[in-house]
Amino acid sequence: MDNDAARRDELDRLHRREAELLERIERLKASMDHTSEIGTLVFKNNLMKEAQDELRRVQDKLSGVAEK
């Protein structure tokens, strides 16, 4: 039972993180639409790439955890 509870907790945590990252990516996209300075766009683009990479890792973990 403890393994099942731990697995559910991990799934819940990963789903929350996935939702946070998706929201963050959407906010960055929206803010990039209203930014005209190149330096700021590059910075926000880097932040978005980092968030997308982390989202991909979380989704990979979720697919691995769901398969077990």
Q: For residue range 13-32, list pLDDT tens digits in order.
A: 999 999 999 999 999 999 98
Neighbours of 4 (CB within 10 A): 8
**Residues with pLDDT less than 50, the chain:** none
Q: How many domains would you assign to the chain? A: 1
Nearest-5° angle of CA 49, CA 64, CA 1?
A: 130
Both tokens of 4, joined, read 């099942």
Q: Which residue range is the domain that position 11 belongs to?
A: 2-67
| Tally of CB atoms within 10 A around 38 | 8
Structure tokens at 60: 């990979």
For the whole model, what pTM was predicted? 0.78
Q: Give the up-direction half-sphere exposure of residue 32: CA atoms within 13 A in the CB hemisphere.
A: 17
